[in-house]
Copies of this chain bind each other. A is one copy, B any other.
Amino acid sequence: MSDDEWRPPTVLLAVDLVILTLRDNRLHVLLIERGVEPYRGMLALPGGFLGHAAEDLPAAARRELMEEAALPGETLHLEQLGVYGTPGRDPRGRVVSVAYLAIAPRLPEPTAGTDASDALWTPVERILTARFEVAFDHCQIIGDGVERARAKLEYTALAAAFCGPTFTIAELQLVYEAVWGVQLDARNFYRKVQGASGFIVPAGPMRKPVNGRPARLFRAGPGRRLHPPITRPVVVAAEAAEA
């Protein structure tokens, strides 16, 4: 792939952010309304091109997080999701995008940034059921991000990242139910969470409830990996229906 004549082609590199949070007990993703062409006026993931040729990829992701979503880029869990580089995915030319997944606790409404005429939290199932159309291949990226988050809830302590600094076990259960889209048995969930060493540790006194017995408060524990895992209820059928 090298000789005296041939020069390797260059591409434009972008980062896109799938920022997930819980609002109203439903999983939401942050979308912006695009203020510039292409797809002007359409909803899209926050993101953008590398700021300069020497910018690190995670740094670019955190910069966009702040610029376009006004979210604290330094503190959020950020994870590489994958590369999306199909030719033709962006009408501006060969744009290869690195997608990052971020998990945020409930936050104040985001404000519109530089290139976004508006920023808003959108329930993911509206996008994944194609009720909302989003720009580029962002529907695919969102789907991949949601699936990654769902899978990570099983074997990592990620769920606590959706909560505030302290939370009750019932709140943690709501995270699992919202992300997985299932109902869980509170009593079995209670035992599982307590049995996973290092997942949660007691924190301070009770929380004052609207009604009923007050619940113990917990903080995220030191463990990142869940042993034993908290597994999703098995979906029957359609086992061989995957490529």
Contacts and interface: CB of A to CB of B under 8 A. Distances in A.
B239 A48 contact: no
> Among the interface residues A1, A9, A14, A67, which one has the most CB atoms of the partner chain B within 10 A?
A1
Interface residues of A, number: 46
Contacts of A1: 48-49, 51, 64, 67, 114-115
Interface in A1-35: 1-2, 8-14
Interface string A141-155: 000000000000000
A197 interface: yes
Interface stretch (A54-62, A124-132, A166-174, A203-211): A54-62
A37 to B, nearest CB: 9
A115 B8 CA distance: 14
Interface of A: 1-2, 8-14, 36, 48-57, 64, 67, 80, 82-83, 85-87, 93-94, 96, 98, 114-115, 197-198, 222-225, 227, 234, 239-240, 242-243
